[in-house]
């Protein structure tokens, strides 16, 4: 399949109505369009067309037991797709966080195809704030089912180049609108039961959710390795995800010990390091040392994480050592992805 690559400036969507109409036609016709969102790029198809979701699973090489998120362009559209059982709770989430980097899981309406929900009785719905995503959903006139636009198991794409690396020749169109501003996937909150539950941390943080909703439970799989008898509520969280080709080893503990450990590893010819800007001067200088930005800049950590994990794949290395940022606020999302990337291999240097 020939993939058309189209550039759309997110600050001037009104000048790109021809391109958006072409993309919308592909979606309505059952084809696939990769598009930008504020979190990561998505691989979109018509959420109401079971064949389109089948094509999504195939293009990504994704196990079909892993449900998709339906993307909409208004708060009312949540109601068109789901049974909203607790209006007050949904209203609070909508008022504070929608549109934005949050996905809400509720009981699905009967017309939603089982291919989208992988047979689950619930549906995940998100209203992104990105101008191009919104314009595409509106132009398509249907909800767009979209997982992250990476091959299954690879780090999520935060730039069109990442999508091209993974999906060129597998989808009809890729829209390039530059870098995603957040860089980690949306927060997922399940509100179909009595207590809201965080299934995946993101830029709408646990602290923000608790300040609006009160009690919010956290799926234990977010920071801990899952034992075989505990299944995460979001099936996608069980896969060894976000992983570069070389094994990743996380290093935790006392600041000075971490730095001396990394300094030692930076002298090994086939080891790469992921650290903070401030650490670089202390390590053996090489192009195998990448940073997540400044130590206290959580939004930089989120924005750069997947890009850096992908960059390691282009190096001739056989191990990656990484620091683990602080896990409060947006840090929880970064640490969750990083621990998955390293398959929970953590060296404690206390």
The token duo for 99 is 């549109």
Shortest Cβ distance from residue 124 to Mg ion (Å)? 12
Can you tell me which of 40, 173, 258, 333 binds ligand TXA, judged by CB under 6 A? 40
CB of 180 to ligand TXA, least distance (A): 9
Pick between residue 151 and residue 213 the one whose CB is nearest to ligand TXA.
151
Told to check if 204 binds ligand TXA by CB under 6 A, we report no
Instruction: Decide if residue 155 touches ligand TXA (CB under 6 A).
Output: no
Burial degree of 314 (CB within 10 A; 0-12, 13-18, 19+)? exposed
Report residue 317 as tokens: 């290395």
Among Mg ion, ligand TXA, none, the one that 84 touches (CB under a kind-dependent 5 to 8 A) is: none
Closest among 123, 11, 118, 15 to 77, alpha carbons compared: 123
> Binding ligand TXA by CB under 6 A: which of 39, 53, 115, 271?
39
Contact between 66 and ligand TXA by CB under 6 A: the answer reads yes
Give the phi and the psi of residue 123 in degrees, each rounded to 5: -130, 140
135 binds, among ligand TXA, Mg ion, none (CB under 5 to 8 A by kind): none
Question: What ranges in the chain are assigned the alpha helix state H?
Answer: 17-28, 50-60, 76-81, 87-97, 114-117, 131-140, 160-167, 206-213, 255-265, 298-312, 331-341
Identify the residue among 143, 147, 196, 331 touching ligand TXA (CB under 6 A): 147
**Cβ of residue 234: shortest distance to ligand TXA, in angstroms?**
4
Q: Of 131 and 186, which CB lies nearer to ligand TXA in the complex structure?
A: 186
Chain residue at closest Cβ approach to ligand TXA: 236
Q: Where are the beta strands (DSSP E) in 68-203?
A: 69-71, 82-83, 102-108, 122-126, 144-145, 173-176, 187-190, 197-200
- Does residue 70 belong to the site contacting ligand TXA (CB under 6 A)? no
Q: Which residues contact 281 (CB under 8 A, 6 or more apart)?
A: none
- Report d(CA 182, CA 176) in Å as an integer: 16
Return residues touching Mg ion (CB under 5 A): 148
Q: Quick one: tokens of 37?
A: 């969102």
Task: Kindly list the residues in this chain that would bind ligand TXA in the complex (CB under 6 A).
Answer: 37, 39-40, 42, 66-69, 103, 105, 117, 120, 122-124, 126, 146-148, 185-186, 188, 199, 233-237
């Amino acid at each position: 399949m020939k993939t058309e690559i189209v550039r759309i400036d997110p600050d001037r969507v009104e000048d790109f109505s021809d391109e958006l109409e072409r993309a919308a036609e592909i979606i309505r016709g059952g084809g696939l369009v990769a598009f930008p969102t504020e979190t990561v790029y998505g691989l979109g198809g018509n959420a109401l067309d079971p064949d389109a979701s089948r094509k999504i699973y195939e293009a990504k090489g994704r196990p079909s037991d892993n449900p998709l998120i339906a993307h909409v362009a208004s708060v009312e559209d949540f109601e068109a797709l789901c049974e909203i059982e607790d209006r007050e709770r949904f209203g609070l989430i909508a008022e504070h966080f929608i549109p934005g980097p949050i996905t809400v899981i509720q009981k699905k309406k009967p017309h939603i195809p089982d291919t989208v929900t992988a047979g689950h009785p619930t549906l995940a719905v998100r209203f992104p704030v990105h101008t191009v995503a919104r314009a595409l959903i509106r132009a398509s006139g249907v909800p767009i089912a979209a997982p992250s636009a990476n091959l299954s198991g690879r780090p999520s794409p935060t730039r069109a180049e990442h999508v091209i690396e993974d999906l060129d020749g597998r989808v009809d169109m890729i829209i390039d609108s530059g870098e995603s501003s957040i860089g980690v996937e949306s927060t997922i909150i399940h509100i179909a039961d009595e207590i809201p539950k965080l299934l995946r941390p993101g830029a709408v943080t646990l602290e923000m959710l608790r300040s609006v909703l009160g009690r919010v439970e956290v799926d234990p799989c977010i920071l801990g390795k899952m034992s075989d008898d505990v299944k995460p509520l979001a099936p996608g969280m069980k896969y060894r995800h976000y992983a570069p080709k070389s094994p990743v080893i996380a290093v935790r503990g006392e600041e000075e010990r971490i730095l001396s450990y990394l300094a030692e590893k930076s002298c090994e010819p086939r080891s790469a390091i992921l650290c903070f800007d401030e650490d670089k001067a202390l390590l053996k200088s090489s192009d195998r040392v990448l940073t997540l930005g400044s130590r206290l800049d959580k939004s930089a950590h989120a924005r750069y994480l997947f890009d850096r994990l992908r960059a390691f794949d282009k190096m001739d290395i056989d191990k990656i050592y990484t620091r683990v940022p602080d896990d409060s606020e947006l840090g929880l999302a970064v640490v969750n992805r990083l621990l998955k990337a390293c398959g929970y291999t953590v060296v404690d240097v206390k």
